[in-house]
Chain A
Amino acid sequence: MTQPDYTCITGGTVYDPANGIDGQVRDLWIADGRIVAAPSDRAVRPNREIDARGLVVMPGGIDMHCHIAGPKVNVARKMRPEEKRKAAPLHRTELLRSGTMGSVPSTFATGYKYAGLGYTTAFDAAIPPLGARHAHEEFADTPCLDKGIFVLVGNNHYVMQSLRKKEPQKLKAFLAWLLGATKGFAPKLVNPGGVEVWKSRQNGNVEGLDSIVDNFGITPRQILRGVAQATNELGLPHAVHIHCNQLGMPGNWSTTLDTMQALEGFRGHLTHIQFHSYGGGDADENTFNSKVAKLAEYVNAHPNITVDVGQVLFGETTSMTGDGPVGYYLSKVYGGKWFSGDTEMEAGCGITPIKYKNKSLVHALQLAIGLEWYLLVDDPWRVAMSTDHPNGGSFLAYPQIIRLLMDRTYRQDVLKACPPQVRERSTLYDLKREYTLNEIAIITRAGPARMLGLKNKGHLGPGADADITVYTPHDNKETMFELPRLVIKAGRVIVEQGEVRDPVDGKTLHVTPDYDRAIETDIRSWFEQYYSIGWRNYPVDFDYLHAAENVPTI
């Protein structure tokens, strides 16, 4: 019997929170793209040995909420020629394709840059089902990452129709069918019901969970409950992923709290929660303040809820969201160019450039509110790092966030450049907590993997995908995390000291839950009545996916 082709990473200081390893010096054995137990026969030598003595070893990073592929991301790329003109281009080499940067990098550049930071998995958070094919095609050109998509269902006509007709079985079957047809990973709610109202009338939106949605006569609360329940019954690995109503509006914290309560114990993930934590009222920015303390208190007491932060950082970026009215609102406030999309039957989107300024009280508060979330949620397993790239800032800023969390002095320095009223309107100045490396490993790796239900990711135990990042320790944690020493994907070294050496293609993670096939007839008849494309042209088949892994239901 031939010996497996072993690689061993020796002597590294390992952070594997999922397996209780907090900075222990250990060896890691890899074979066939997975982490394996050390061979019982001590005489066995690995074919490749990587000396990691003095280096920090973690699972590869997981970005569980970003916007990196699909129709709206591509429109945003086209909308930012002035950024792309000024950013340093990625030149084509023997090994690497060319690319452009700015706040919305092109596909190949996205893969290379994420890998350059030690990230090996990323999920695009908002794809309209009709755009799934487009997203997968872009994913085929996004190397180095395992990836997946969350599919927009919160303003889907069949979903809302099923709720109106009180047919939860149809809703459940539809979600399952849809995830299979789109090769998606999880259902996504974006301003449930609100985007439908926006598409139906001028300046339309919903105010709260009990507003009535035009054309269907149902409420956002019903959409939330219906999809949460269906997600649960289908045993989907990731909870329903929720972008609450009223994003960005002063006083929206109460809608966020309502949403958490409306889950009534079902698993739910509230995304970019920073944008949903605002006190104040009547859209009056003069009263804008932080309500993180109250919301975090609820999250701490309710283990069914997980969040990712959606950190805002100062600088120029592009906002892009399935929440159509938000794009319009921001473009009115800032006077920027604006794109609005209406995806038939399914969703909407809004895109506009945005510049977060340290001199703006509102922006400085947004930055503070994001940091408060990390520091006030007690259990790091239930709060994931994100910037909602690129909405709050680029993923390239993750190392800066890590430094802000681990170094209170740096945090204070950044706050000093902000308007003094931030001190009164948020609690950030008083928060002394500093994150440990172990906690960073949780919020950027182990926690997202657990939240997503990915058993083979985010940890370094036997059976895990061999996605590993090796860092050179540094007192300045931003420096440490922005240039990994090595990045390993499926057991292969893909990045070495910032240089991409082996741009492997990753796999697409998707789910195919079972459903009652009989209901397909109903879905099909609805589809053929309203859609502008043919039924057989809608589902994405496996040809579009370079490699795929079907993640089993629970």
Chain B
Amino acid sequence: MPLKLSYFGDTSVPVEVEGLTPDWACDKSPAEIERFEIFEGNRKRPLAEMFRVSGSATDRCFEWEGNLAGVHWIGAGMQTGEMHVHGPVGRHVGSGLRGGAIQIHGDAGDWAGAELHGGLLHIHGSAAQMVGAAYRGAPKGMTGGMILVDGDAGDEVGAAMRRGLIAVGGSAGDLVGFNMIAGTVLVFGDCGIRAGANMRRGTVGLFGAARPTLLPTFRFATTIRPHVVNVLLRTVAAQGVKFDQRLLEEEFDIYHGDAVSVGRGELLLRQVEVAV
């Protein structure tokens, strides 16, 4: 039986619920959970003043519901357990996630899965800017785990990523894989400019119908189908992300770069303009 959290708050300032995770809650009584302090703007309030709490946290499963677009840091730092969110969520969902799984049945705000270390974050709607990115000033970002976005994402997907896998079923914005150290970002829709800027190593798949313009510091290598791409695509498909099935058989144009950095990264582009 899950812990149900139904949002009834009505406020114009951000609500922050950092720290409310299955790891924390699993041995707390319902009364203690209701007293968990959340922020409304700069004021602390007990959880029960903005959420109806029911069920039990012993199974380490949370079900959130409501319009949570103004509720931030859901699932941040979570280590084990499951979260299902029925509705849009705010910023920093799953930030610093270490394990377990978070499913968002709706859209997510900026910084979804920022600095993820493990586990799974699956956004069934669209995400905003900085998916799986490093926070400003950090030398490295995501270090493991998997982020899946069924819809679109904004700019700087996977910025300063060190390891792990991000897949975006829809389109992405500019600077996909910006400052990437290593890891994999796959974008099945179109993307913006400057993908892979300053990447050291790692793989960025740009599988949209419209072939993106690449930075001049990326050099064409060959047209081929690396076997590991099959492994990546099958992993993503197994989680229910939809993409053009022709990708499972095609060869890709491989570009190596970014030459201004270490240059051991690769961009994978579809071979021809593909009709949508």
Asked if chains A and B are in direct contact (CB within 8 A), the reply is yes
Taking a contact as CB atoms under 8 Å apart, the answer to whether A337 and B136 are in contact is no
Q: Nearest Cβ in chain A — how far from B163, in angstroms? A: 17
With both beta carbons as reference points, the residue of chain B lying nearest to A80 in the complex is identified as B137
Q: Nearest Cβ in chain B — how far from A548, in angstroms? A: 37
With both beta carbons as reference points, the residue of chain A lying nearest to B200 in the complex is identified as A335
B137 partner residues in chain A, CB cutoff 8 A? 79-82, 337
Interface size on A, residues (CB 8 A): 8
B138 within 8 A of A: yes
B139 within 8 A of A: yes
Contact of B135 among A82, A336, A353 (CB under 8 A): A82
CA gap between A353 and B137 in the complex, in Å: 11
Q: Nearest Cβ in chain A — how far from B178, in angstroms? A: 15
A85 within 8 A of B: yes
Taking a contact as CB atoms under 8 Å apart, the answer to whether A85 and B139 are in contact is no
Chain B contact residues: helix, strand, loop or mixed: loop
Interface contact tally, CB-CB below 8 A: 16
CA gap between A81 and B138 in the complex, in Å: 8
A85 partner residues in chain B, CB cutoff 8 A? 135
A80 partner residues in chain B, CB cutoff 8 A? 137
Q: Nearest Cβ in chain A — how far from B99, in angstroms? A: 19
CA gap between A158 and B136 in the complex, in Å: 41
B138 partner residues in chain A, CB cutoff 8 A? 81-82
CA gap between A89 and B136 in the complex, in Å: 18
CA gap between A81 and B136 in the complex, in Å: 7
CA gap between A154 and B137 in the complex, in Å: 33
B118-170 contacts to A (CB < 8 Å)? 135-139
Taking a contact as CB atoms under 8 Å apart, the answer to whether A81 and B139 are in contact is no
With both beta carbons as reference points, the residue of chain B lying nearest to A79 in the complex is identified as B137
Interface size class of B (residues with CB under 8 A): under 10
Q: Nearest Cβ in chain A — how far from B151, in angstroms? A: 28
Taking a contact as CB atoms under 8 Å apart, the answer to whether B139 and A336 are in contact is yes
B139 partner residues in chain A, CB cutoff 8 A? 82, 336-337, 353
- Chain A 48-83 per-residue mask, 1 if CB under 8 angstroms from chain B, else 0: 000000000000000000000000000000011110
Report which residue of B135, B136, B137 has the largest number of chain A beta carbons within 10 angstroms of its beta carbon: B137
CA gap between A435 and B137 in the complex, in Å: 41
B135 partner residues in chain A, CB cutoff 8 A? 81-82, 85
- Chain B 59-81 per-residue mask, 1 if CB under 8 angstroms from chain A, else 0: 00000000000000000000000
CA gap between A336 and B137 in the complex, in Å: 11
CA gap between A80 and B139 in the complex, in Å: 10
With both beta carbons as reference points, the residue of chain B lying nearest to A81 in the complex is identified as B137
A79 partner residues in chain B, CB cutoff 8 A? 137
With both beta carbons as reference points, the residue of chain A lying nearest to B134 in the complex is identified as A82
Report which residue of A80, A81, A82, A353 has the largest number of chain B beta carbons within 10 angstroms of its beta carbon: A82
Report which residue of A79, A85, A336, A353 has the largest number of chain B beta carbons within 10 angstroms of its beta carbon: A85
CA gap between A238 and B136 in the complex, in Å: 42
A336 partner residues in chain B, CB cutoff 8 A? 139
CA gap between A88 and B139 in the complex, in Å: 20
CA gap between A80 and B136 in the complex, in Å: 9
Q: Nearest Cβ in chain A — how far from B62, in angstroms? A: 25
CA gap between A106 and B73 in the complex, in Å: 26
Q: Nearest Cβ in chain B — how far from A278, in angstroms? A: 27
With both beta carbons as reference points, the residue of chain B lying nearest to A334 in the complex is identified as B139
CA gap between A79 and B137 in the complex, in Å: 7
A337 partner residues in chain B, CB cutoff 8 A? 137, 139
- Chain A 321-338 per-residue mask, 1 if CB under 8 angstroms from chain B, else 0: 000000000000000110
B136 partner residues in chain A, CB cutoff 8 A? 81-82
- Chain A 348-382 per-residue mask, 1 if CB under 8 angstroms from chain B, else 0: 00000100000000000000000000000000000
Q: Nearest Cβ in chain A — how far from B111, in angstroms? A: 12
A439-492 contacts to B (CB < 8 Å)? none
With both beta carbons as reference points, the residue of chain A lying nearest to B115 in the complex is identified as A82
With both beta carbons as reference points, the residue of chain B lying nearest to A78 in the complex is identified as B137
CA gap between A82 and B136 in the complex, in Å: 7
CA gap between A85 and B96 in the complex, in Å: 12
CA gap between A82 and B134 in the complex, in Å: 9
CA gap between A85 and B136 in the complex, in Å: 10
With both beta carbons as reference points, the residue of chain A lying nearest to B137 in the complex is identified as A81
Q: Nearest Cβ in chain A — how far from B138, in angstroms? A: 4
With both beta carbons as reference points, the residue of chain A lying nearest to B96 in the complex is identified as A86
CA gap between A369 and B135 in the complex, in Å: 36
CA gap between A258 and B236 in the complex, in Å: 65
With both beta carbons as reference points, the residue of chain A lying nearest to B138 in the complex is identified as A82
A82 partner residues in chain B, CB cutoff 8 A? 135-139
Q: Nearest Cβ in chain B — how far from A320, in angstroms? A: 16
A289-348 contacts to B (CB < 8 Å)? 336-337
CA gap between A79 and B138 in the complex, in Å: 10
CA gap between A82 and B139 in the complex, in Å: 8
CA gap between A488 and B136 in the complex, in Å: 40
Q: Nearest Cβ in chain B — how far from A84, in angstroms? A: 9
CA gap between A60 and B139 in the complex, in Å: 38
Q: Nearest Cβ in chain B — how far from A2, in angstroms? A: 49
CA gap between A306 and B139 in the complex, in Å: 39
CA gap between A405 and B139 in the complex, in Å: 34
CA gap between A353 and B138 in the complex, in Å: 11
Q: Nearest Cβ in chain A — how far from B103, in angstroms? A: 27
With both beta carbons as reference points, the residue of chain A lying nearest to B136 in the complex is identified as A81
A353 partner residues in chain B, CB cutoff 8 A? 139
With both beta carbons as reference points, the residue of chain A lying nearest to B139 in the complex is identified as A336
Q: Nearest Cβ in chain A — how far from B44, in angstroms? A: 11
CA gap between A509 and B135 in the complex, in Å: 41
Q: Nearest Cβ in chain B — how far from A321, in angstroms? A: 20
CA gap between A390 and B137 in the complex, in Å: 19
CA gap between A337 and B179 in the complex, in Å: 13
Q: Nearest Cβ in chain A — how far from B123, in angstroms? A: 23
Q: Nearest Cβ in chain A — how far from B237, in angstroms? A: 35
CA gap between A294 and B139 in the complex, in Å: 39
Q: Nearest Cβ in chain B — how far from A288, in angstroms? A: 25
Q: Nearest Cβ in chain A — how far from B143, in angstroms? A: 14
- Chain A 144-171 per-residue mask, 1 if CB under 8 angstroms from chain B, else 0: 0000000000000000000000000000
- Chain B 222-252 per-residue mask, 1 if CB under 8 angstroms from chain A, else 0: 0000000000000000000000000000000
CA gap between A536 and B155 in the complex, in Å: 50
CA gap between A37 and B168 in the complex, in Å: 77
Q: Nearest Cβ in chain A — how far from B26, in angstroms? A: 24
Q: Nearest Cβ in chain B — how far from A373, in angstroms? A: 31
CA gap between A29 and B45 in the complex, in Å: 49
CA gap between A10 and B139 in the complex, in Å: 53
Q: Nearest Cβ in chain B — how far from A86, in angstroms? A: 9
Residue contacts A-B, CB under 8 angstroms, 16 given: A79-B137, A80-B137, A81-B135, A81-B136, A81-B137, A81-B138, A82-B135, A82-B136, A82-B137, A82-B138, A82-B139, A85-B135, A336-B139, A337-B137, A337-B139, A353-B139
Q: What are the 3 tightest A-B residue pairs by CB atom distance, in nearest-first order?
A: A81-B137, A82-B138, A82-B137
B residues touching A (Cβ–Cβ < 8 Å)? 135-139
A residues touching B (Cβ–Cβ < 8 Å)? 79-82, 85, 336-337, 353
Known: A80-B137, A82-B135, A353-B139. 13 other contacts (CB 8 A): A79-B137, A81-B135, A81-B136, A81-B137, A81-B138, A82-B136, A82-B137, A82-B138, A82-B139, A85-B135, A336-B139, A337-B137, A337-B139
